[in-house]
Amino acid sequence: MEIKELKNQFLEYLELEKNRSPRTVENYDRHLEKFLAWAHISSASQIDSELIRNFRLHLNRFQDKKGQNLKRITQNYYMIVVRNFLRYLSRCDVVTLPAEKIEVGKTPEREVEFLENNEVERILEAATGAGFKALRDRAILELLFSAGLRVSELTNIDREKLNLKRGELSVRGKGNKIRVVFISDTAAASLIKYLAVRTDVDPALFVRDDNKLKKFESKNKIILDKKKDDKNDLRLTPRSVQRIVKYYALKAGIVKNVHPHTLRHSFATDLLMNGADIRSVQEMLGHSSITTTQIYTHITNPHLKEVHQAFHARRRKSAKID
């Protein structure tokens, strides 16, 4: 069987058997396609250690149009994709290089940027007003920080899933895993105010301003290109939420590069600095591995230093006095 047909079967396996998200399958497809286009092979038996070594050299030396090299994490992702493909081929008894022969280089520790509490408050306060947009945007910002949501999780929420009385919400995260997230009192209050001005019947929790769209259509005597059978006509996209977050960060005078994930980082950091255990934070963030959550322990090191100085250093000082 030709290598491209095996690749297609592998992608179907990821979708059906491994229940990977469409985005993950798309990423695997794109990376494998680039590997196969570079390799110029037609059979899985042509994949050997020398081919993999040369591919790694190619990735390491590759430069884009701006002359920039691929980040180490991107290079590693290519190798992870190829390794998983080989692992699948082995399951299907296809003769090829054993997956164990591929080593993935050590990835540099991620730099995580988060906001201080006063910066979060400044961004929230920047979204003030009684209009639809201001109320919606304040609710978005409050919920992102209150629940530590990924932007895709936020935009996929439907109104009927909200339970403001219980202060909780079920979201579908990576790998289609469902978890419960919690809504703070301030976030709940913002959501109530926002929902009170909704006049549309769209099921999405966060939507574009329907009245403004209708006025625009009427004034310009046009009908915007919207699918009438699509129940999500008005739903905000992740890109729209990114623009909203960046707008209020700039309005609040925050010089950091703020995006929705920055609020997620801030949520996790705030929990850890206030005494939450890392396993609880892992569950609230929806991380499948504790290793992913551990990136925040580096951020909280200054907090640990304060604890050390407050308790251990005080003990040493006391001993000298005695």
Where are the domains positioned within the chain? 3-101, 121-261
Residue 190 has pLDDT above 50, yes or no: yes
Asked if 96 and 107 touch (Cβ cutoff 8 Å), the reply is: no
Residue 171's pLDDT band (cuts 50, 70, 90): very high
Please check whether residue 206 is in contact with residue 158, taking contact to mean a CB–CB distance below 8 angstroms.
no
User: Bridge-partner residues for 235, per DSSP?
Assistant: 207
Is residue 55 over pLDDT 50? Answer: yes
Q: Which of 7, 31, 150, 265 is catalytic?
A: 150
**What would the CATH number be for the domain defined by 121-261?**
1.10.443.10
Chain position carrying tokens 């966060």? 206
Between 293 and 57, the higher pLDDT residue: 57
**174 an active-site residue?**
yes
255 class by beta-carbon count within 10 Å (0-12 exposed, 13-18 middle, 19+ buried) = exposed
**Residues of 158-188 as b/e, b for ≥16 C-beta within 10 angstroms?**
eeeebeeeeeebebbbeeeeeeebebeeebb
| 315 annotated active-site | no
241: Cα separation from own chain's centroid = 13
Coil, helix or strand for 269? helix
Does the fold of domain 121-261 match that of domain 3-101?
no
Q: What is the pLDDT of residue 209?
A: 86
Q: Which of 7, 20, 138, 287 is catalytic?
A: 287
Q: Is position 138 annotated as part of the catalytic site?
A: no
101 is an active site residue = no
- Give the tokens for residue 265: 């980082």
pLDDT in tens, 243-286: 999 999 999 999 999 999 999 999 999 998 888 889 999 999 99
pLDDT for res 229: 41
Distance CA 234, CA 205 (A): 10
pLDDT: which is higher, 233 or 127 = 127
pLDDT given for residue 62 in this prediction: 93
Assign residue 93 a region (left: φ > 0; alpha: ψ between -120 and 50; beta: otherwise). left
Paired with 169 in beta bridges are 181
Write out pLDDT tens, residues 102-122: 988 776 666 678 899 999 999
Return the minimum-mean-pLDDT range out of 104-118, 222-236, 266-280, 295-309: 222-236
pLDDT at 232 over 50: no
- Catalytic option among 174, 179, 246, 303: 174
- Residue 219: partners with Cβ closer than 8 Å, 6 or more residues away: none
Supply the mean pLDDT for the chain: 87
Weakest mean pLDDT among 102-111, 161-170, 303-312: 303-312
212 is catalytic: no
Q: Are 57 and 105 in contact (CB under 8 A)?
A: no
Active-site hit among 83, 235, 261, 265: 261
Q: Which of 77, 78, 248, 296 is flagged as catalytic? A: 296
Q: What is the CATH number of domain 3-101?
A: 1.10.150
Rounded Cα distance between 260 and 247, Å, is 11
pLDDT category at 291 given cuts 50, 70, 90 is confident
Q: What are phi and psi of 180, to 5 degrees?
A: -95, 130
Summarize the confidence of residues 71-89 as an average pLDDT: 94
**Whole-angstrom Cα distance, residue 254 to residue 257?**
8
CA distances from 181 to 94, 178, 189 (A): 43, 10, 16
